[in-house]
Structure 1
Amino acid sequence: MLPFFTNPYSNELVYSAIARYHFYSGNIDYKDTLEEVFHSRSVTPSVEIGSNFSILAQQLAPNHSLESLLSKHTIYPYYASFLSKSRKKEIIKDVQGDGQGLYSRLGMVAGGICKKNGLLYCPKCVTNDLEQYGEPYIHREHQLQGIVYCAHHELILKKYPIDFSTSSRIEFIRFDEKLMNLSMLHEVEPKEFITIQIALAKLAYQLLQLPIHNFCRESINFKYRTLLRERNLMTASNRIRQYELYNAFQSKFPKGFLEKCESAIVANDEYNWLKVITRKLKRHVHPFRHLLMLYFLEQDLDSFLQVEADTGPFGSGPWPCLNKAANHYKEYVIQEVNVTRDFKSKAPIGTFECSCGFIYARKGPDRLSEDKYRIGRIKAFGDAWKAKLRELEAEGTYSTRTLARMFGVDSKTVIKYLSSEIKIEGHSEKSIPSKLLIYRNQLLKGIRQYPSYSRTKIRLCFPKEYMYLYRHDNEWLFEQLPIIQREKNNQVIVDWDSRDRALK
């Protein structure tokens, strides 16, 4: 157990705390410090994260745990939100042990961008640290790849004059205020570049404050899709409009900015980082590019946390039946939704069909939970609706307007369906030809006998009745026939046994 330790300051790297420990312990040889802190003289210091955390946590218990050190005093949270759950488990094992493979799992080797070859600091932060603690220390938010401004004071970061290329590989570099330039002059570059870089720095700092298990690659992807759908950048079939996304993304940033940040997008590359970041792929995307994505989507971490995961333009089923004449009105009994695209607006159109025969559609995407109870257009009322209408009308106690309110339709719709039951081409039921009534009854009996038959099958089974009704009573005929079924594979399945019986 260590006799004392320099407890890390707010957002101080573990590396920085050990550097201060080495200084105050009076050790001359850095291997002595490694032996005291890690019980090993062969550990190689690492600025961003480190290794052998299980031993370090034991040394600092009960004030610090492995997870608290990792989440509060390394840059790991900058990467954690965009890693898969399995990758996170592997990294926890890495930092507990010798750290082999740690940085390749993070993507800092192959996928690193805007790499920093030294330690950086904010002059104003150093001034505040001197006033509060009497010494400066290495802030983790200033060491993040891609971040060049201080999120707190909006000043460009400066490089500490001593770096790893001029020091021993086992040396812990401690900030010395005598070697630091504390002038607060702003960098001369386009104002719009500065504005975006400061916004990205603030997003990065917010990332560091998140619990390391708050997000994962999978949940981030679903949140992105929700926000892209709101911007009409997803098709009705849940595909991302990559061409439109590319153009919108490019127009969000000033010319030359993405190139400066080593994040230019090659439009024709099937695996450019913008396509990879929006797909369910295992490829790693640098967290700085996720920050660019969040900036494009106009999100900070607080608002992004509130975004619901995308489950399609109409959410996940089941969906309610909105047939006011049914006993299961507003009950979630519809298991599937057929999504098509509006020809003009390209917005998704959802069609919901209940077993009671009621079919309705509405334009999406749904934005509120109440949208599930919204009807855009009724495509079919169904037998249950018609039977209930006839039943209430037969009681004689309801006016047409009252029935219309009860059924949620226009008065003309009520009149239309009541009239179709008792009139044909201006004739009363008593004056309907007997042949017509017979063929009506025969066709209705056949439809009830074969409820799964399509219109084509009904026509093949009852060709004589079908043709007579088509010529003399087609409005009634089409009201009774099943809804037109779309062929899924462009093949017509013929029931040859039924056709043979019909043609005998």
Structure 2
Amino acid sequence: MRRLKFFPAPYPDECYYSIFCRYFARSGSTSNKRTIFELFGEAQSLAAFVFLPRRLELVDIWLGADSPVKREKLALDNSCYAYFSTAFTRRLFEGMERKIKTGEPDRSLERRIIQKCRRSHWPERLRYCPDCVREDVERYGETYWHRMPQLPGVEYCLRHGNPIQDSGVTFRQITMAFCPASHALQGLTLQEDAEKKKYRQRYMAIARDTEWLLRNGLKLEGCRSIAHKYKELFMEKGLTTAQGVRYPDRIKTAFTEYHGKGFLKQMFQDKENYLYWLDFAFESVSEHLRPLHHILLMEFLKGSAEKFYEAIPEIEPYGGGPWPCINKVCCHYGKDGAEKISITYMNGQTIGHFRCMGCGMKYQRSRPWQEFEEYADHAVILDYGDYWYRKLRECVEVKGLNQAETAKVMKCTTTTVRKRAEEIGLDLHMNRKSCIYHEKEWKDLDRSQYFRAKVSEALQYQPELTAKELDELVPGAYAWFHKNDFQWLKERLVIDQDKQYWTIWEQEHLKLLKEAYECIKQTGDSDRRITIGWICSTAGLRECEIKGRLHRFPDIKGFIDEVVERKEEWLGRRFMVIAEKKKMAGEYLLLADIKKQMGLKPNTYKKYAVLIQKLIEELNQ
């Protein structure tokens, strides 16, 4: 090869391929093959030059060392190298930087780069903006192929707001041919897809972030660095633990709510599961993400690619202090005053210990994503603090309140009052308003009249009264009625599970479970078996809390029985989906297809061998 007689000066945002097309047109050549050999000295596919800075080692030969057009300029300003660098590993990133600086030939590196920019993700045709074409002709006397319209997700021109149009030039054509834009774009059209028009603002945001990546993508330093930041920002949003353990359903739900299900389905029309790629948003597998995936994730986490780059993640899983106090008798309750003592990690949980500086109450949390109202009544109290105990003593020793009255003042249960009083040796019996008098004082009293009056008094204070609560409020009453008139007492007491509280509890939790089920149906993995554990984790509930009480709550049990899939039902559903695909291809369903697509454990095949064979035979009929 020799130095070229001339080389076109690159235009703004012109892709590398377009520069070669203009060289071909101006050289007067009529043979694509001859020009390819003149430039590269061998047969060379041209399609990848639309996106990537290939064969940079030849630039010095073509132009000479004194030319103002350098390898670095072509790579950064006339290729999509910075954009695609978001999918590069550190090794690939450093290899490409070395190639650009030194000009050393490395065909193996180029092949790996092309693999990252998969052909399956390229558009079918070269694309353009009609207004950009007119401006190019007015300014330069000719038009050229721009970089931006060729990139996935760019459906509107960022400068003019026009929908991007398909040209008549296919990528198959340009594999071994030069197709200058000035020749191909003679008759301009302007058509807009009605479905894409609905999400115009979303597409404009993607175009802005695409342009930012074209200019600044190298600042992100490859997919591993980006994925590490994803982990920190996911944790900041409460979507992973600090150890990187994911909550996949919670991530997919939040992601879908941000972007909109309709928009995501349109973006990934070729995929049945349009959120499959979210499983790659972590360091070990991050090289499988495309730049478009990164843009959507960056917008979800920080609003834009630029804000994502500038963001400094909160390394504190529970955010910055001060944290709210959970002592209901403290002036800092629900506001501030608590400081962090420590953060520990155990079994995938992030456990935080906090203490209020005002009252001394110390408590523990294990779910960073919860709002105050969600954890205030369920946090583990490790130490009630000096102020709480002083207030308890004041209620009993100074004000002379009984257990129920003390619990009302302390805003807790009578059980809590009794246990805490035992800890500090406080005598609660001295203030019992229903205290049993000494035997000598009972001689002139009608016990039946006395206990009936006390029980009636307790029922006015607490209409739903259990035997245990009666024994606390009116000591001795239950024992006396049990011997003398138990039927009278039985008609007025309730058992704990019949309380109105549990009816409300059942309906509230049933609502959460139904919402979680709807969320799973809309955004969950359709291949996954629907289990009670999956529904509970999506609803933010503990599985044991629901599963252990199913016998008490018929509405929840009925719902769970209706929606949770048995293993046999799940196998049948999955087999049917696979069988439909095979039928469309005109093939029979085989056991090998099941093993390949479902990835079941060997024990499952062994246990359900008869059922699996039966299902395959039925579906093949």
Which TM bucket (shorter chain)?
0.5 to 0.7
1:229 equivalent in structure 2: 235
1:134 equivalent in structure 2: 141
Matches within 5 A, 1:377-416: none
Residues 151 and 362 (structure 1), Cα distance of their counterparts in 2 relative to 1, 3 Å cut: farther
2:58 equivalent in structure 1: 55
1:20 equivalent in structure 2: 22
Residues 175 and 116 (structure 1), Cα distance of their counterparts in 2 relative to 1, 3 Å cut: same
Residues 297 and 211 (structure 1), Cα distance of their counterparts in 2 relative to 1, 3 Å cut: closer
Given that 1:114 and 1:262 are in contact with CA atoms closer than 8 Å, whether structure 2 keeps it comes out as: no
- Residues 1:206 and 2:212 aligned together: yes
Residues 98 and 43 (structure 1), Cα distance of their counterparts in 2 relative to 1, 3 Å cut: farther
Q: 1:75 aligns with which of 77, 80, 84?
A: 80
1:15 is paired with a residue of what secondary structure? helix
Residues 179 and 237 (structure 1), Cα distance of their counterparts in 2 relative to 1, 3 Å cut: closer
Rounded Cα–Cα distance in structure 1 between residues aligned with 2:80 and 2:250: 34
- Residues 1:305 and 2:297 aligned together: no
Rounded Cα–Cα distance in structure 1 between residues aligned with 2:171 and 2:224: 36
Residues 136 and 265 (structure 1), Cα distance of their counterparts in 2 relative to 1, 3 Å cut: closer
> 1:81-114 deviations in whole A, cap 9, x for unaligned?
23221122344578853645635545456x5555
Residues 352 and 127 (structure 1), Cα distance of their counterparts in 2 relative to 1, 3 Å cut: same
Rounded Cα–Cα distance in structure 2 between residues aligned with 1:359 and 1:99: 66
1:124 is paired with a residue of what secondary structure? helix
Tell me by how many angstroms 1:239 deviates: 2.1
Tell me by how many angstroms 1:213 deviates: 4.8
Tell me by how many angstroms 1:47 deviates: 2.5
Residues 33 and 190 (structure 1), Cα distance of their counterparts in 2 relative to 1, 3 Å cut: closer
Tell me by how many angstroms 1:147 deviates: 2.7
Matches within 5 A, 1:108-187: 108=116, 114-166=121-173, 169-176=175-182, 179-187=185-193
Residues 207 and 215 (structure 1), Cα distance of their counterparts in 2 relative to 1, 3 Å cut: same
Tell me by how many angstroms 1:247 deviates: 1.3
- What RMSD over aligned residues (CA atoms) do the two structures have, in Å? 4.4
Given that 2:89 and 2:287 are in contact with CA atoms closer than 8 Å, whether structure 1 keeps it comes out as: no
Query: Match of 2:147, as an amino acid?
Result: R
Matches within 5 A, 1:2-17: 2-17=4-19
Tell me by how many angstroms 1:244 deviates: 0.8
Rounded Cα–Cα distance in structure 1 between residues aligned with 2:239 and 2:268: 25
Percentage of matched positions with identical amino acids: 25
Rounded Cα–Cα distance in structure 2 between residues aligned with 1:273 and 1:143: 22
Given that 2:87 and 2:287 are in contact with CA atoms closer than 8 Å, whether structure 1 keeps it comes out as: no
TM-score where L is the length of structure 1: 0.58
Query: Match of 1:66, as an amino acid?
Result: R
Residues 360 and 257 (structure 1), Cα distance of their counterparts in 2 relative to 1, 3 Å cut: same
Given that 1:265 and 1:273 are in contact with CA atoms closer than 8 Å, whether structure 2 keeps it comes out as: no
Tell me by how many angstroms 1:277 deviates: 1.4
Given that 2:154 and 2:206 are in contact with CA atoms closer than 8 Å, whether structure 1 keeps it comes out as: yes
> 1:179-228 deviations in whole A, cap 9, x for unaligned?
44434443322543332222212211111011525432122113223332
Given that 1:237 and 1:340 are in contact with CA atoms closer than 8 Å, whether structure 2 keeps it comes out as: no
Tell me by how many angstroms 1:237 deviates: 4.6
- Residues 1:277 and 2:287 aligned together: no
Rounded Cα–Cα distance in structure 2 between residues aligned with 1:5 and 1:14: 12
Tell me by how many angstroms 1:154 deviates: 2.3
Instruction: Point out the structure with the larger helix share.
Output: 2
Rounded Cα–Cα distance in structure 2 between residues aligned with 1:48 and 1:81: 14
Residues 68 and 312 (structure 1), Cα distance of their counterparts in 2 relative to 1, 3 Å cut: farther
User: How many residues matched?
Assistant: 355
Q: 1:293 aligns with which of 280, 290, 297?
A: 297
Rounded Cα–Cα distance in structure 2 between residues aligned with 1:264 and 1:365: 37
Residues 32 and 118 (structure 1), Cα distance of their counterparts in 2 relative to 1, 3 Å cut: same
Rounded Cα–Cα distance in structure 2 between residues aligned with 1:179 and 1:37: 25
Matches within 5 A, 1:104-503: 104-108=112-116, 114-166=121-173, 169-176=175-182, 179-189=185-195, 191-210=197-216, 212-235=218-241, 237-262=243-268, 272-281=276-285, 283-309=287-313, 311=315, 313=317, 337-339=343-345, 350-351=352-353
> 1:335-356 deviations in whole A, cap 9, x for unaligned?
9842579xxxx99553499xxx
Given that 2:87 and 2:286 are in contact with CA atoms closer than 8 Å, whether structure 1 keeps it comes out as: no
Residues 260 and 23 (structure 1), Cα distance of their counterparts in 2 relative to 1, 3 Å cut: same
Tell me by how many angstroms 1:284 deviates: 1.3
Rounded Cα–Cα distance in structure 1 between residues aligned with 2:354 and 2:92: 40
2:45 equivalent in structure 1: 44
Rounded Cα–Cα distance in structure 2 between residues aligned with 1:337 and 1:287: 35
2:110 equivalent in structure 1: 102
> 1:254-291 deviations in whole A, cap 9, x for unaligned?
44433332278877x9x931011135325411111122
Given that 2:82 and 2:218 are in contact with CA atoms closer than 8 Å, whether structure 1 keeps it comes out as: yes
Given that 1:347 and 1:365 are in contact with CA atoms closer than 8 Å, whether structure 2 keeps it comes out as: no
Query: Match of 1:150, as an amino acid?
Result: C
Rounded Cα–Cα distance in structure 1 between residues aligned with 2:151 and 2:184: 24
Rounded Cα–Cα distance in structure 2 between residues aligned with 1:282 and 1:230: 19
1:338 is paired with a residue of what secondary structure? strand
Query: Match of 1:70, as an amino acid?
Result: A
Given that 1:151 and 1:201 are in contact with CA atoms closer than 8 Å, whether structure 2 keeps it comes out as: yes
Query: Match of 1:287, as an amino acid?
Result: P
Given that 1:79 and 1:106 are in contact with CA atoms closer than 8 Å, whether structure 2 keeps it comes out as: no
Query: Match of 1:192, as an amino acid?
Result: K
Rounded Cα–Cα distance in structure 2 between residues aligned with 1:112 and 1:289: 16
Rounded Cα–Cα distance in structure 2 between residues aligned with 1:210 and 1:228: 23
Larger deviation, residues 76-85 vs 224-233: 224-233
> 1:103-142 deviations in whole A, cap 9, x for unaligned?
5545456x55553122111111111111111111111111
Rounded Cα–Cα distance in structure 1 between residues aligned with 2:96 and 2:112: 10
Given that 2:301 and 2:308 are in contact with CA atoms closer than 8 Å, whether structure 1 keeps it comes out as: no
> 1:281-314 deviations in whole A, cap 9, x for unaligned?
2541111112222232352122111112564527
Rounded Cα–Cα distance in structure 2 between residues aligned with 1:172 and 1:227: 45
1:150 is paired with a residue of what secondary structure? coil
Which structure carries more relative contact order (alpha carbon 8 Å, separation 6+)?
A: 1
Given that 1:116 and 1:145 are in contact with CA atoms closer than 8 Å, whether structure 2 keeps it comes out as: yes
Given that 1:44 and 1:170 are in contact with CA atoms closer than 8 Å, whether structure 2 keeps it comes out as: yes
Rounded Cα–Cα distance in structure 1 between residues aligned with 2:27 and 2:88: 38
Residues 188 and 289 (structure 1), Cα distance of their counterparts in 2 relative to 1, 3 Å cut: same
Given that 2:227 and 2:283 are in contact with CA atoms closer than 8 Å, whether structure 1 keeps it comes out as: yes
Query: Match of 2:4, as an amino acid?
Result: L
Residues 151 and 177 (structure 1), Cα distance of their counterparts in 2 relative to 1, 3 Å cut: farther
Residues 213 and 298 (structure 1), Cα distance of their counterparts in 2 relative to 1, 3 Å cut: closer
2:352 is paired with a residue of what secondary structure? strand
Residues 230 and 206 (structure 1), Cα distance of their counterparts in 2 relative to 1, 3 Å cut: same
Query: Match of 1:262, as an amino acid?
Result: F
